[in-house]
Structure 1
Amino acid sequence: MEDTDPLPLSALQHYLFCPRQCALIHVERQWAENRLTAEGRVLHERVDLGGKSTPRGVRTVRSMPLRCHRLGIGGVADVVELRGPGRQPYPVEYKRGKPKSHRADEVQLCAQALCLEEMFGATIPEGALFYGESRRRTAVAFDPDLRALTERVAEAARAMISSGVTPPPDHAPRKCGQCSLADLCQPKRLSRPPAVADWLLRQLQAE
């Protein structure tokens, strides 16, 4: 598919974490920073500078622009290592914190791999997530299930953003407590209709 305005790769991560967060960022263009996002920004400062290096015989390209016309997605990879004599791409995404229980980070990384496969005409079986808290890489295999999930999320995120409609909040204390947009989103208050709204709904139902 051709698209002059590709869906940002980060939107897939945002959508799988929380569709409402995705809409606030990519539809309403809202943003706020907290300690967690500030730590993530500092972690990315080095790779966001761009440039190339060749440690241990591996060519490392930082801040590589990516695009997949088939899925209409695009963005920038933190790091792409070009390995071996064939220069096989190996994407590495930097994240603060530690590995998550959900697959949002894996989907974002897999989306990078799908872009690289189209760009290089190669099959990429694996990439890695580097977490700032553990200071270690977690290898991610791009198996059929993850690839299918990534394509479904890309389609769903694109449909939601194209609709221009922000989903209602779904208050989840642990997840919402980590979100920098919590004050803008107001999930706890808005997930429970005010008393006036309840009264109006009862009146309409009675009629």
Structure 2
Amino acid sequence: MIYQEEDYLQLSGLQHFAFCRRQWALIHLENQWKDNLRTVEGNLFHHRAHDSKQRERRGNILILRELPICSASLGISGKCDVVEFHAAPTGIALSGEEGRWRPFPIEYKKGAPKAHQADELQLCAQALCLEEMLCCPIAEGALFYGETRRRCAVSFTEDLRQTVRTMLDEMHQLHSRGHTPRVKPTTSCNACSLKGICLPVLMRKQTVKAYLHQAMEDRP
């Protein structure tokens, strides 16, 4: 399937979706947002990561920052934090540069590696966009975590790629329906900036419809 540009979803939303489908819907369907300490620190970390020239050369590595990307087959668009192009005989040609180059996407994250795959899925989606735009295979990239100050290599396996495609299909279906999924409370809810909007404790006990019905009955 080929999506029209007006139907593209935000690539960054894939991380929200992988973490919590309801969080994604509140942000991307209902335009709900509220910062907390984690989100503010994350924004500042990304700002510092991008606070330099958009194109930089370090020996045999060309570094591009905030590179716009999109995929018509996946129906997403966004930006890569950093894409390193490594000089390689089997790479691709780049406008204004001699030789051939192999792309290597890097996503910056403020915290530490997580138990779930949300970060890896976001990075893999970036690689799929780059493959479609540059017409070349990309086998791996990296996640740089501010807390550990280290890169974690990510291999773009077929399983990871298929998970990205499956999740994006579900995102497009929910988006076309305008549907916000019900909450499935977990311990991760405590760290979510939308906890006060989502009300996971309330939803664990009863539906919003039931709560409103009860509230109306309790009115004097």
Q: Same fold (TM over 0.5)?
A: yes
Structure 2: tracts of 5 or more residues without a match: 89-99, 215-220
**1: distance between equivalents of 2:123 and 2:147?**
18
Question: Deviation above 2 Å: which 4+ runs of structure 1?
Answer: 46-50
More displaced, 44-53 or 151-160? 44-53
Tell me what 2:109 maps to. 95
Is the counterpart of residue 73 in structure 1 residue 86 in structure 2? no
Sequence identity percentage? 43
**1: distance between equivalents of 2:40 and 2:4?**
32
Is the counterpart of residue 179 in structure 1 residue 182 in structure 2? no
Q: Secondary structure at the match of 1:145?
A: helix
Mapping of residues 25-104 of structure 1, within 5 Å: 25-49=27-51, 51-85=54-88, 86-104=100-118
Mapping of residues 116-131 of structure 1, within 5 Å: 116-131=130-145
- TM (norm. structure 1) is 0.90
| Greater per-residue helix proportion | 1
Mapping of residues 19-30 of structure 1, within 5 Å: 19-30=21-32
2:150 to 136, 139, 157: 136
Q: Secondary structure at the match of 1:168?
A: coil
- TM (norm. structure 2) is 0.85
What one-letter code is carried by the residue in structure 1 that aligns with 2:184? D
Query: RMSD across aligned C-alpha pairs, in angstroms?
Result: 1.9
Could you tell me how far 1:47 is from its partner in structure 2?
A: 3.6
What one-letter code is carried by the residue in structure 2 that aligns with 1:129? L
Q: How many residues are matched?
A: 199
Tell me what 1:204 maps to. none
**1: distance between equivalents of 2:69 and 2:174?**
22
**1: distance between equivalents of 2:138 and 2:206?**
47
Could you tell me how far 1:189 is from its partner in structure 2?
A: 1.2
Q: Secondary structure at the match of 2:112?
A: coil
What one-letter code is carried by the residue in structure 2 that aligns with 1:155? D
Could you tell me how far 1:81 is from its partner in structure 2?
A: 0.5
Could you tell me how far 1:191 is from its partner in structure 2?
A: 2.1
1:15 to 17, 32, 36: 17
Structure 1: tracts of 5 or more residues without a match: 202-207
Tell me what 1:2 maps to. 3
